[in-house]
């Protein structure tokens, strides 16, 4: 064997060893890669056809923050844009329940509920909210793009913001049959009965005054007899329903003092309900906890 070949032998041995090593471990590498790929979770679709406010994007629309609260206070600004599927800011909306966009605010312990109607200036929505304590909050925006029609599903998007510092969390109240705001009492007519998952139900509430007399002067509020915002205690997912048909007339209606909401909840567990209605020109609010089984 020539001296040149003897000098090359160590390098040749290294190449052969490397090739044999790769041939030995390649099946294990490809199997591991396939397993990792197969283990990747598949994104779950939203349980709601119109979004539940747990994501900043749905159905091609994006809720883009402009200014979110960072400190507590009685008047803090929330500002955001809605970006359309084509990447431009959405500025054309259907008027639904007398407004172009409905905004809700809630802390993650299901307290601090607010229902406000921001103002659209240019391409940006803005509103003032109260932030009385620390914690994690979520802002929900419910809207219907122009062209979908007022009877189509609205789109509901959400953004979270965090207020640092000591926080006094509120425990979720137990189910109760009545809710009293100091002036009026709303009574759930089926008591504290559990609702069945994925079962359509008519929830009925009777309104009475301090004397116990039925209040017969329910008035239209935002185009409906009443509004219910229902939040899942585990996820904060929002569903919003209305009492009765949208009404264009003014004046006292619902002479029996009863509000009825058709609901159907997916997923077991507790829900926190916030009901809003109007009597004698004043908007009242009631809150209930229900259990879905």
Taken in order 167, 267, 200, 291, the sign of the CA dihedral is negative
Q: How many CA within 13 A on the CB side of residue 4? A: 0
Answer whether residue 254 is part of any domain: yes
Do residues 157 and 194 share a domain? Answer: no
Please indicate, yes or no, whether residues 141 and 87 belong to a single structural domain of this protein: yes
Do both 218 and 253 map to the same domain?
Answer: yes
pLDDT of residue 74: 97
**Does residue 283 share a domain with residue 217?**
yes
Is 170 domain-assigned? no
- pLDDT of amino acid 257: 87
134 shares its domain with 205: no
Are 151 and 226 in the same domain? no
The tens digit of pLDDT for each residue in 166-175 reads 999 999 999 9
Is residue 173 one of the residues assigned to a domain?
Answer: no
Asked if residues 241 and 228 have their Cβ atoms less than 8 Å apart, the reply is yes
> Can you give the CATH number for the domain in which 100 is found?
2.60.40
Is residue 64 domain-shared with residue 149, that is, in the same domain? yes
**Shared-domain flag, residues 68 and 127:** yes
| 191 in the same domain as 120 | no
Q: Which of 199, 177, 170 is nearest to 288 (CA)?
A: 177
Nearest in space to 241 (alpha carbons), one of 175, 174, 156, 179: 156
At 282, list the tokens.
């004043």
State the Cα–Cα distance between residues 122 and 202, nearest whole angstrom: 41
Nearest to 212 by CA among 234, 193, 186, 232: 186
- Check residue 227 and give its pLDDT: 96
Q: Which of 117, 134, 163 is the last residue before a domain boundary?
A: 163
For the segment 205-226, what is each residue's pLDDT rounded down to a tens digit?
Answer: 999 999 999 998 889 999 999 9
Please say which residue of 112, 137, 163 terminates a domain. Answer: 163
Residue 149 confidence (pLDDT): 78
- Domain residues for 202? 178-292
Shared domain check, 288 and 182: yes
What local confidence, expressed as pLDDT, does residue 88 receive? 97
Within-domain flag for 50: no
Q: What is the mean pLDDT of each run of 10 residues along the chain (293 residues)?
A: 52 49 46 36 41 94 98 98 97 95 98 98 98 98 91 90 96 97 96 97 95 92 94 97 60 71 95 96 97 98
Contacts (Cβ under 8 Å, ≥6 apart) of 143? 82, 90, 93, 96, 100, 101, 102, 154, 155
Two tokens at 97? 């329940």
Q: Which two tokens stand for residue 137?
A: 């909050």
Compute and round to an integer the Cα radius of gyration of the chain.
28
Q: Is residue 51 part of a domain?
A: no
SS (H, E, C) the chain: CCHHHHHHHHHHHHHHHHHHHHHHHHHHHHHHHHHHHHHCCCCCCCCCCCCCCCCCEECCEEEEEEECCCCCEEEEEEEEEEECCCCCECCCECCECCECEEEEEEECCCCCCEEECCEEECCEEEEEEEECCCEEEEEEEEECECCCCCCCCCEEEEEEEEECCCCCCCCCCCCCCEEECCCEEEEECCCCCCECCCCCEEEEEEEEECCCCECCCEECECCECEEEEEEECCCCCEEEEEECCCCCCCCCECCCCEEEEEECCCCCEEEEEEEEEEECCEEEEEEEEEEEC
Supply the pLDDT for residue 51.
Answer: 84
- Do 284 and 191 belong together in one domain? yes
Q: Is residue 22 part of a domain?
A: yes
- Asked if the structure places residue 1 within a domain, the reply is yes
Domains in the chain: how many in total?
Answer: 3
Of the three residues 111, 134, 163, the one that is the final residue of a domain is 163
For tokens 């172009």, name the residue. Answer: 100
Instruction: Tell me if 60 sits within 8 A of 83, measured CB to CB.
Output: no
The verdict on residue 2 lying in a domain is yes
Indicate whether 72 and 104 sit together in one domain: yes
The CATH number of whichever domain residue 258 belongs to comes to 2.60.40.1220
């Amino acid at each position: 064997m020539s001296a040149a070949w003897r000098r090359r032998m160590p390098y040749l041995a290294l190449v052969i060893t490397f090739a044999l090593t790769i041939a030995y471990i390649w099946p294990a590498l490809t199997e591991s890669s396939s397993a990792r790929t197969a283990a990747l979770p598949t994104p779950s679709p939203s349980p709601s056809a119109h979004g539940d406010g747990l994501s900043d994007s749905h159905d091609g629309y994006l809720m883009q923050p402009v200014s979110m609260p960072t400190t507590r206070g009685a008047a803090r600004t929330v500002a955001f844009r809605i970006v359309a599927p084509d990447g431009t800011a959405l500025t054309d909306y259907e008027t639904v329940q007398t407004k172009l966009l409905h905004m809700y605010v809630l802390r993650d312990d299901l307290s601090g509920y607010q229902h406000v109607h921001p103002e659209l200036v240019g391409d940006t929505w803005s509103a003032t909210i109260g932030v009385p304590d620390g914690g994690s909050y979520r802002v929900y925006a419910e809207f219907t793009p122009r062209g979908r029609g007022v009877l189509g599903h609205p789109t509901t998007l959400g953004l979270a913001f965090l207020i640092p510092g000591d926080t006094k969390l509120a425990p979720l109240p137990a189910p109760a049959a009545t809710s009293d705001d100091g002036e009026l009492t709303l009574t759930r007519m089926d008591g504290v009965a559990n609702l069945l998952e994925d079962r359509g139900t008519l929830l009925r509430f009777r309104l009475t005054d301090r004397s116990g007399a039925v209040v017969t002067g329910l008035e239209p509020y935002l185009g409906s007899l009443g509004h219910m915002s229902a939040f899942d205690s585990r996820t904060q997912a929002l569903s919003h329903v209305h009492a009765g048909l949208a009404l264009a007339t003014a004046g006292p209606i619902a002479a029996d003092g009863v509000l009825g909401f058709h609901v159907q909840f997916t997923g077991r567990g507790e829900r926190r309900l916030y009901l809003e209605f109007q009597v004698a020109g004043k908007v009242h609010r009631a809150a209930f906890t229900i259990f879905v089984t």
